Amino acid sequence: MRIIKPFAILTPQTIIQDKAVAFDKKIEAIDTVENLIKKYPNAAVEHDENALLLPGFANPHLHLEFSANKATLQYGDFIPWLYSVIRHREDLLPLCDGACLEQTLWSIIQTGTTAIGAISSYGEDLQACVDSALKVVYFNEVIGSNAATADVMYASFLERFHQSKKHENERFKAAVAIHSPYSVHYILAKRALDIAKKYGSLVSVHFMESRAERKWLDKGSGEFAKFFKEFLNQTRPVNDTKSFLELFKELHTLFVHMVWANEEEIQTIASYNAHIIHCPISNRLLGNGVLNLEKIKSIPYAIATDGLSSNYSLNMYEELKAALFVHPYKEATTFAKELIIRATKAGYDALGFEGGEIAVGKDADMQLIDLPEGLTNVEDLYLHTILHTKKPKKVYIQGVEYV
Give the 3-state secondary structure of 187-246.
HHHHHHHHHHHHHCCCEEEEECCCHHHHHHHHHCCCHHHHHHHHHHCCCCCCCCHHHHHH
Q: What is the structure's pLDDT at 322?
A: 98
Count of other CB atoms within 10 angstroms of residue 278: 27
Active site residue 209: yes
Over its length of 403 residues, how does the chain's per-residue pLDDT go in tens digits? 999 999 999 999 999 999 999 999 999 999 999 999 999 999 999 999 999 999 999 999 999 999 999 999 999 999 999 999 999 999 999 999 999 999 999 999 999 999 999 999 999 999 999 999 999 999 999 999 998 899 999 999 999 999 999 999 999 999 999 999 999 999 999 999 999 999 999 999 999 999 999 999 999 999 999 999 998 889 999 999 999 999 999 999 999 999 999 999 999 999 999 999 999 999 999 999 999 999 999 999 999 999 999 999 999 999 999 999 999 999 999 999 999 999 999 999 999 999 999 999 999 999 999 999 999 999 999 999 999 999 999 999 999 999 8
In angstroms, the CA 28 to CA 33 distance is 13
Domains of the chain: 2-56+356-401 (2.30.40.10), 57-351 (3.20.20.140)
Q: What is the structure's pLDDT at 399?
A: 98
Q: What is the structure's pLDDT at 383?
A: 98
Q: Which of 209, 319, 338, 357 is catalytic?
A: 209
Angle, CA of 13, 279 and 262, to the nearest 5°: 100
pTM score, two decimals?
0.98
What letter would DSSP give residue 249?
T
Q: What is the structure's pLDDT at 403?
A: 85
Contacts of 28 (CB under 8 A, 6+ apart): 1, 22, 40, 360
